[in-house]
Structure 1
């Protein structure tokens, strides 16, 4: 026996002994082994890193080749899956962790329709990337291990429709084995005219069979998530898992790398804090609110790529198609990338006070002018008590509001909330200057933060972290 042949026999024998013999999985069998709480959480977090990066790629409209490369790098780092030929690696352990992470995230992302949609899209993309990376033998073994419910076209069909089949399958050898499925299982191939249709059947070239597999993966996962959502209430008694699943579904475990960043809303004037908090609470802002807040973020330093991610994550109640059709153009327009391609400035305090007066259901405008006095006082304490503002400060602030000195009220709040950074009454935002622009307030606040931490910055940079705005 030749050396190469012996090596192949050893590889096949070793592979056949694996508990998880296939690198690809439809995740139709949950892990049955005992799993520690630590492993439960770790496997899920590692997988969530990969899925979050996939979501980020979609939000940035990266081409698929680039998304595939990024996903491969993230998989190598967090959820490696070696090929069947890697007989020196612990492939069973790798695949066990992969499957465990998937099923834990099912529990976390099954609870709402929006979470299920996000999870299915990211997981289907991950499966697609892995499928395309698989060797021919790995794909064949995977196909044979599952029932994809396709049948081979018989000789009568091939003879009767030889010309039509030849148009989609030019290679004669390939035409000898053509699977047929109901056309509803391959709508993407039907749309692109890559299959032959007859009597509700689609005859699929072998090079396009991956579409059947991808569709099957997505359909099964959607059904499994709905079943998981129905079964989840039975787990309520286990108080160990509930906080883990809640954190996973919110992506709050992926805030690494931001220790040097500062949550931007801490530096926002009240008008922008109000918009930010309304956006987080309702996952939506009406037109003038989006315009006021969006231009503020743009001038503060949020690049268009991060802006699209931020608004997409914030508008979580919308599908990708709805977001693209209703909001994406206007966001790009405000950055001068559509329409007149003008460089629109952020709105000044005077413009916010005088133009586009808010109605009862709007969030834009100036809180010092447009809130009722009772609501304004409650909002001030809610937003700024953690930064040193107390009830004892309210009479002075409300006096300036009643005299319609809204700029002075905003400036006084700035002085109070920055008192720990040696800002005194009358200092304003510097040299006694009052607030006349929301960006002026935010930039002055950030400059004080940098000075107090002995850092220097020539400009403010911003990025999106888990749907929040971070100043760097």
Structure 2
């Protein structure tokens, strides 16, 4: 099923894909935009497609989970999900004529089954995956055309029966009581009912939206979507449990296990995009600018390290690595970086600095050793690797600080930017639920409200924070835009 294919940069989505290079299923394999994913891919899949399709889908699912954590309304969630789908997981209806529907649906199919492998490993991961996938299915179901949706439902082997005329006559009074007009001024009542086992529509039973008789629920045509969503959720849950039993067979596959391990962390801090910003300010950053930028634009993790560095005149190895790569991507040149660290580590003698620290700084810039151009660490990497110990200042404050220290730290750092004690309840709730990047995103919204950022907008377009440099770059961009607007008004 899988084969290697050379690629330029592992894990990075290329701007264009020419499509499958091996045998592919016929168009009949994907007749509809909606999919219950009953059949796994039976064609050959390259490792590149295996990873890329899964990452694209995970970006959408992670933003759906983020929407739940941020208490977005259903309409807001649909808007954000549609935007994410257009960016990472486009899936057009059958009426689209100018796109490759076969490739879109193939990628959607592959991504779903790869994520099954990644998220079947624990009950908690399965629960979160099922909730996000069911929500994505609902969004697509609502957006699908009535014709395509009806054709899709006709092809499914649901254990329901259409109510025959005799039944409708026998229960006419009860069924009429359930009837609702299509619109407030319409006299067209629904005329079709489906008989389904009542345990398949518990939400409708609880709301008294169905008639019960003989163990069956009579569901009207404009309530049948509830049954469809419950069936999707039920089947996916069973499929994940079965996949979990089969997963140990993959343990010896060194190609797939590292990919799956990485994907399973996707709900923890969002999915890092291929975000690159060689200079967030548009100009080279000087060493003496760092402290001022930290006070105005850095996320909590980086601002905490800057304060520790100023206070202690020292950072341990992983702190220097995490902070140094952040400053590098922010726009600090190698010469300015050496000047910054030499000044910051002022208690260290010049000879020792040159022997023990200068080499590591140059190495992180790709000027020593194997000369690799190391990227800054994403939120996911900060959360999952190099856990801070006693005396360390690196890591994610939202995860690694105690609740008391986090609240005190947030107020001390951000109170001058608009964060109040009343805001902490919402932030700490998301921290308690394990949505650390959502908490960071909410702090960004609060502290940048004076620059036009509204609740729910996140880092821009509804996106959550997934990278410290993304946070800083967006903050600097907003300040620059505000300054330019002010100058335009004055002129």
TM-score by length of 1: 0.58
Alignment of 1:265 with 2:280, yes or no, is: no
1:313-368 alpha-carbon deviations (Å, 9 max, x no partner)? 66349xxxxxxxxxx9xxx9x9xx9xxxxxxxxxxxxxxxxxxxxxxxxxxxxxxx
1:245 is matched with which residue? 260
The match for 2:158 is 148
Question: What residue number does 1:139 align with?
Answer: 149
17-26 or 299-308: bigger deviation: 299-308
- The question of 1:200 aligning with 2:200 is answered no
In the alignment, which residue of structure 2 is the partner of 1:180?
A: 195
CA distance in 1, matches of 2:214, 2:413: 55
Partner Cα distance (2:427, 2:65) in 1: 9
Structure 2 residue 238 is the aligned partner of structure 1 residue 122 = no
User: What residue is the counterpart of 2:288 in the other structure?
Assistant: none
Alignment of 1:17-416 (within 5 A): 18-170=28-180, 176-251=191-266, 253-254=271-272, 256-257=274-275, 264-268=300-304, 280=399, 288=404, 291-292=407-408, 295-296=411-412, 299=415, 308=426, 311-312=429-430, 315-316=433-434
CA contact (8 A) 2:54 2:115 kept: yes
1:179-212 CA-to-partner distances (Å, cap 9, x unmatched) read 0112221122222222222343221110111111
Render the CA deviation track for 1:84-143: whole Å, top value 9, x for unaligned: 122443211110000101111111111122211111111111100101111112111111
What SS class does the counterpart of residue 254 from structure 1 fall into?
coil
Larger radius of gyration: 1
Distance 2:398 2:158 in 1: 44
Residue 204 of structure 1: SS of its match in structure 2? strand
1:267-319 superposed Cα distances (whole Å, 9 cap, x missing partner): 426799789779747xx956x456545645663759688984775366349xx
SS in 1 for 2:205: helix
Unaligned regions of 5+ residues in structure 2, if any? 1-25, 182-186, 281-296, 309-389, 452-457, 476-491
Contact between 1:43 and 1:101, CA under 8 Å: does it hold in 2?
Answer: yes
Q: Helix, strand or coil: the match of 1:21?
A: coil
Alignment check: 8 A CA contact 1:265 1:273 kept: no
**Alpha-carbon offset, residue 56 of structure 1:** 1.9
Alpha carbons of structure 1 residues 205 and 78: separation in structure 2 relative to 1, 3 Å: same
- Which SS does the other structure have where 1:89 is aligned? coil
C-alpha distance in structure 2 between counterparts of 1:306 and 1:40, whole Å: 40
Q: Give SS of 1:194's match.
A: coil
Question: Could you tell me how far apart the structure 1 residues matched to 2:396 and 2:135 are?
Answer: 32
Report which stretch shifted further, 66-75 or 270-279.
Answer: 270-279
Report the count of equivalent residues.
317
Task: Find the residue that maps to 1:465 and give its secondary structure.
Answer: coil
Q: What SS does the aligned partner of 1:123 have?
A: helix
What TM-score comes out, normalization by structure 2 length? 0.56
